[in-house]
Amino acid sequence: MDCELCNFDSPRIIKQYPYWILSAAAQTPLGWMHAMLKRHAEFFDELTQEELAELKEVVGEARAALKKTFKPDWFNLTQLGNTCRHLHVNLIPRYKEKREFAEKEFVDESFGGGVSSEEIDEEMVGKVRGEVKG
Ligand SMILES: [Zn+2]
């Protein structure tokens, strides 16, 4: 299998766990981290109970370290897999105000962004709900 995260080895690695690797991702936003599963799986619902429990520990430790170092105002946690399907979650610190680190300025321009309640098409929501619910 040609997967860039199977047998991942990189200077970006922060810590190895039994089931997960914690690694630094691209640093926009500052402090962005990946938790990568050590075996090849592609979606969240494929995790075993042990892997899921350890992911909670990995994210908790990473969040505690980020709170101490860069003091984010919020965090996003996502499993996307758009560019690489090997199961990894993104822990993305979010900042209300700019941060400075290593002589560089980091501005989180989309802090607090998302879909506002005025933008929601309730009729379409109802139709989708009905379709999914069966
Ligand atoms: Zn893989």
Residue 69 has a pLDDT of 96
Q: What is the C-alpha separation between 28 and 13, in angstroms, rounded?
A: 17
Write out the H or E segment, with its range, that includes residue 13. strand 13-16
Residue 8 lies in a domain: no
Measured in Å, residue 73 CA sits from the centre of ligand 1 at: 32
Domain containing 59: what range? Answer: 13-133
- Per-residue pLDDT of 48-75, as tens digits, reads 999 999 999 999 999 999 999 999 999 9
- The token pair at 108 is 């989180």
Residue 17 lies in a domain: yes
Domain harbouring 48, CATH code: 3.30.428.10
Strand partners, 13: 23
Measured in Å, residue 17 CA sits from the centre of ligand 1 at: 17
Residue 1 has a pLDDT of 63
Give the total residue count for the chain: 134
Total domains present in the chain: 1
Measured in Å, residue 76 CA sits from the centre of ligand 1 at: 23
44: CB partners within 8 A, 6+ apart: 79, 87
Residue 7 lies in a domain: no
Low-confidence ranges of the chain (pLDDT < 70): 1
Measured in Å, residue 80 CA sits from the centre of ligand 1 at: 14
Residue 3 lies in a domain: no
Kindly report the pTM of this predicted structure: 0.90
